[in-house]
Structure 1
């Protein structure tokens, strides 16, 4: 095999595995559920993003400015106008304190370069904290310049000072060169501009490496304003509810459609069998793979196919049985009717009357035997057929059956031999069934072989079972007929003449053995001089043997 052949085989194997995987109903349902989950996550994430956008639009911050970082690096300050920043004051200074941009006249007038050292730097993570402390002469303000440690992210105080009630620096290195702060500067330190806006600064460099300082004054979030925005955001979440319900309904419909599609092959198979039954045909049902049945339903589908096959076989057997009964009874009944009519009309010479009576009697017996054989077959095939099991010595039953069959064997000129041994062979058997089984096998050997054929019946214990062998030295069974000898209505005589039998003898023998827990088989290697050899195995009753 070449490498190309091996690769092709692997591709075919992997392709078959993938087809088998996606042919599973569970995998298909999981795919639908996964798609539903992804869509649900998408809706929730979309609602969350919209809600976040509402909050960001209502309460802009330095993060809102950083979203325009590409424009800032190119000094395209026009991007800082309008949109989320429409209610904000934005001013940009260079390293020399020159104003490069102001979002409005108010921003240009009220935010100055001299204010930068008292505005918290968002870029370095520095911020001011202000605490009020009671003192003997009033209230003092402790101002701390804070940042975060790079290793453990803990808060670190870089510098500090204490202001008295008049905002004079009375202690600490922070703002030591100023002596005091103005109320405006103190407000900027607290991050509050004009009592209604928060203020912060951002130091950065543009693409040319030039330092820039951006100051942002954004509206302070009031409780009422926050409540209004939160109400809008919650309504956005409410809008997601219909989408979630729609997705849920779509997923349910998809799952229902998958289940219905998975059951269609079974529905089609049932419909095909009904149509075939109405037409009297066989109604072939394709395999589960060819029908596209999911893996989970393949067993049910195949069991249905097997059941339909068995039902067709049973129906065919029933039809063959009816046809066989009518055919096999037609000849003897026709003879009986013709001979009886001749006797009634006085058309038979006196010296032939006895002969006519004998023929009528023989044909009546033949018809009775046919009916008995058909009746036995029907009884044994009935699911409620009851056995009368008794513990018996198989040797005695074999000897009795051989004695019963001996007159027929002598009449046909076939020597009948027995070999039952001396050791008891106890078994739980239905004596009537075993008798019919043995008579059918012996009768088959005698009636279907020429005169002079030796027939031998033997029994012995082998491996915990009782083995009965019926062998003959006749013409044998045609090779094409051998695999079918135990099937009902199979005979060597295709014309089904009266002497050909019903074709039920071996079928009844096999069924009788099965009902008693045994089996009947045709040996493929009979020992000389035997040509045909039927082997019957029955369970040995160990308790009876002891």
Structure 2
């Protein structure tokens, strides 16, 4: 009979009173277990073997059998012959469908190359990987059970059980051997006949596919000549070509994502290090009493300014991550978009005027109903206005217009300032894309337009930087198109 952690959990009274020695021998004979308290102190082990092999650090990788979650581990071979593993943590949603809670990619040495599963871990040990697979050894499974004693103290029980009893395993082997004594000669005869009849034809049919596989592994160009492939194998060839195309696209996407992530980390480090270095230097000077009394206020103002810049960057990063979450939802309210845009601009009018800027607003005297998230939409317009205020000299005029056509509402935010250089234009909506002058001067976080684009897309619309502007007086023109009936 199969032994599992359920056979141990049945004796919850003994477990809850730490009376481990009272468990029946039929359970502990083939199924070993060890018990830890919450601090990692071992309270009991049923055998020396499990005492030596199971440590508390493995408990983080063992899922509680009562939780309902499980790991799914699949093995893959990359184009260059490297073995990789995909580990997914799964559960069922309220409808009974499988959902992936988190995942990670491992190379053949169990280094974590991507994903948010096992956050903070760079590499798994072989024991940890075996635990994730649910197999402590070839014939044993490992499970965890968390519970509380009658006194409210937390306990973690780890069991290592055979997949079947020794007697059952021996009977199965004996039964299988008896079957094979009769079946093996017949099976071998059939295999030999089939091999003689079809080996030559099959080998001839797949030689071209095999050549294509070797070419792909060596990264050479290749093309399968379908005229030399039997009709029965054409669908396989088509699927093979589709698979190779998908793998190429996936590889390019992976490489691009890796480069973008490294660049984002470098940009975050740079943009946080600069103000924090200033804060540290000025704070140290103040603490050591090296600042004249008349300059203390100036130093404190600079520290405050740099701390606000750092806080803005962190807040912007949080907003980016929050809006990327698949469960993020808009708080939609139907508004008269014309009146709402006027209200937002009116709130910023004094600021625009005090900075020496002019504003030209062209909004029709009509009602344009639209469902929007008012807070996010205000952030959207504010980011575009901030972009003009931060990167243009005083005297610049900001132009804001709103109109509608048959399908869309079109909002234009433009200015006649210095414009955006061509080398930045293509990547303007990517994170941390700013001019070098803007970065060195500490203006902005480099995330404003990234957040703006995400807000527009959450509303089912699109935003673009118009580089072929018919009005030569306008240097920077952002055009937002929102569907009248939001699909969000």
Quick check: 1:248 aligned with 2:198? yes
**Contact map agreement 1:325 1:374 (CA 8 A) in 2:** no
Quick check: 1:334 aligned with 2:277? yes
Distance 2:346 2:225 in 1: 58
Cα 1:242–1:347 change in 2 (3 A) is: closer
Distance 2:203 2:415 in 1: 70
Output one character per residue of 1:91-149: Cα deviation in whole Å (capped at 9) or x when no partner. Answer: xxxxxxxxxxxxxxxxxxxxxxxxxxxxxxxxxxxxxxxxxxxxxxxxxxxxxxxxxxx
| 2:480 match | 536
Output one character per residue of 1:256-293: Cα deviation in whole Å (capped at 9) or x when no partner. Answer: 66555554556x38xxxxxxxxxxxxxxx777759999
Output one character per residue of 1:146-166: Cα deviation in whole Å (capped at 9) or x when no partner. Answer: xxxxxxxxxxxxxxxxxxxxx
| 1:373 match | 316
Distance 1:252 1:439 in 2: 66
Distance 1:498 1:375 in 2: 23
Deviation at 1:419, TM superposition (A): 2.6
| 2:152 match | none
Distance 1:457 1:407 in 2: 16
Quick check: 1:525 aligned with 2:484? no
SS at match of 1:392: strand
Distance 2:486 2:193 in 1: 75
Distance 1:367 1:396 in 2: 34
For residues 342-491 of structure 1, the aligned pairs below 5 Å read: 342-491=285-434
Deviation at 1:253, TM superposition (A): 4.5
Distance 1:493 1:366 in 2: 17
SS at match of 1:391: strand
**Contact map agreement 1:455 1:471 (CA 8 A) in 2:** yes
User: Given the alignment, which residue of 277, 287, 299 partners 2:242?
Assistant: 299
Deviation at 1:303, TM superposition (A): 2.1
Deviation at 1:490, TM superposition (A): 2.2
**Contact map agreement 2:215 2:221 (CA 8 A) in 1:** no
**Contact map agreement 1:405 1:443 (CA 8 A) in 2:** no
Cα 1:243–1:526 change in 2 (3 A) is: same
Larger radius of gyration: 1
For residues 83-482 of structure 1, the aligned pairs below 5 Å read: 246-255=196-205, 260-264=210-214, 268=217, 289=223, 294-482=237-425
Deviation at 1:493, TM superposition (A): 1.8
Aligned-CA RMSD value: 3.3
User: Could you state the TM-score of these two structures normalised by the residue count of structure 1?
Assistant: 0.47
Distance 2:225 2:380 in 1: 44
Stretches of structure 1 that go unaligned for 5 or more consecutive residues are 1-240, 270-284
Distance 1:386 1:535 in 2: 24
Cα 1:460–1:247 change in 2 (3 A) is: same
Distance 1:491 1:359 in 2: 23
Cα 1:506–1:242 change in 2 (3 A) is: closer
Stretches of structure 2 that go unaligned for 5 or more consecutive residues are 1-190, 227-235
Cα 1:324–1:255 change in 2 (3 A) is: same
Cα 1:349–1:463 change in 2 (3 A) is: same
**Contact map agreement 2:459 2:486 (CA 8 A) in 1:** no
Distance 1:448 1:244 in 2: 76
Distance 2:312 2:372 in 1: 24
Distance 2:356 2:453 in 1: 27
Cα 1:499–1:243 change in 2 (3 A) is: closer
| 2:125 match | none
For residues 68-79 of structure 1, the aligned pairs below 5 Å read: none
**Contact map agreement 1:526 1:532 (CA 8 A) in 2:** no
**Contact map agreement 2:209 2:237 (CA 8 A) in 1:** no
SS at match of 1:484: coil
Output one character per residue of 1:27-56: Cα deviation in whole Å (capped at 9) or x when no partner. Answer: xxxxxxxxxxxxxxxxxxxxxxxxxxxxxx
